[in-house]
Structure 1
């Protein structure tokens, strides 16, 4: 099941993101990775989906929620849900592995990226919004409990400039922009799926080189309408996700993940599990109230120390 010393790691804090992590794991296997696949989860994950994760991942680790509680800065991003991304810091506690690559659950691996393990901590790709910062959706790190404790202390004293883990990690690993170009992953290792400004021409020119796609933004692939009969996903009207990348995600989901879901599940999971020849159209995204309820529940658990 891969080399014990090295692993790809992801995180999911709710059932919706389990869908992303399952597709991510399948995408890694399809490109022939030799490393172990690890997922960190919180107790918010339903028992049925925990079973799915144990089936697909080599190791499943239950971790406590960590919240930035910095809702003021998160409002600037329009993403209050990102307060739970501090939970990502638990990856430095995975000391049974010598080196890891962290991948957000809304990423998709297009080509083999095992060469990332040749990089050192802290290696990451430039953020498309502010290239002198790295994007924390993909990075190489070395698990170390001392680093974890240091990050928590840094968070308590210095905080985060964006309310989430990216602002914190950029402040902590603050020599990344200037210290060593070897820690700069090519942008093809973390390509944003939402083109803007000069982005479309670059996307066209270098698309064959893309290794990892990142579905940043509030709407995720699993929220877009899909027709089971035609096998086609329809991008949401206000979404700028590349249609080809969305289709790639859905092809993997329908082929390898959707058949394993429990049709009796509630909400989004049940609706997606019910897709079939007789019930071919999923015409609605995850309702806004479902997303808000998930966030309220996570925030409450953080406040209660759960």
Structure 2
């Protein structure tokens, strides 16, 4: 069984996540769509999400993976939200699925992505503009509780060139 997954960090991420889900549904996918909700998403918003999502889409609560770096107040003041970013690592815990395509909620899907489910490697990602770096906004993965545990454990001890999930994942998978 296959799934697309995305993360809602807080109530403000509702609109981008719903646009992503709508664009996935319009692409004609038959895969399940999982919206992971961090604890910062209010019960009110979870209720709205549950009411508007069709049966092909499941909203599920997930625990936050702690952000391992100091959050700077200047970034918070500018609207930069880093504290939830590592929570996307929870996608590796979705072991009821054989393959998951993890998408950042700011992606607009314009066509079918279903062919990505058949990629042979255990983890694949989109190349970034820099040749040795992949973009963590789209990752094809095979959920594995062992990998999930190792990722979460390594999150606080592994170098991240940008103090974000992308830098961490590039270091972890040695892109």
> The TM-score by the shorter chain falls in which range?
0.7 to 0.9
Counterpart residue number, 1:207: none
- Match in the other structure for 2:156: 156
2:126 — aligned with what? 125
Do the aligned partners of 1:33 and 1:114 also contact (CA within 8 Å) in 2?
yes
Summarize deviations over 1:148-170 as a string: whole Å, max 9, x none: 11112222332422111111110
Determine which structure has greater relative contact order: mean sequence separation of CA pairs < 8 Å that are 6+ residues apart, divided by chain length: 2
Match of 1:49 among 41, 45, 48: 45
The corresponding residue for 2:65 is: 66
Aligned residues: 168
1:11 corresponds to: 7
Structure ID, larger Rg: 1
Is the CA contact 1:86–1:165 (under 8 Å) kept in the aligned structure 2?
A: yes
User: Post-superposition shift, 1:90?
Assistant: 0.7
Structure 1 unaligned residues grouped into runs of 5+: 177-306
The structure in which a higher percent of residues are helix is 1
Point out 4+ residue stretches in structure 1 off by more than 4 angstroms: none
- Contact between 1:71 and 1:163, CA under 8 Å: does it hold in 2? no
Give the CA deviation at 1:121. Answer: 2.5
Q: State the Cα distance separating 1:79 from its structure 2 match.
A: 7.5
1:46 Cα deviation (Å)? Answer: 2.5
Change (3 A) 1:156 1:46: closer
**How far apart are the structure 2 equivalents of 1:94 and 1:22?**
20
TM-score by length of 2: 0.87
User: Cα gap change, 1:69/1:113 in structure 2, threshold over 3 Å: closer, same or farther?
Assistant: same
**What secondary structure, in the 3-state scheme, does the structure 1 residue paired with 2:89 have?**
helix
Check 1:80–1:17 CA distance in 2 against 1; reply closer, same or farther (3 A cut): closer
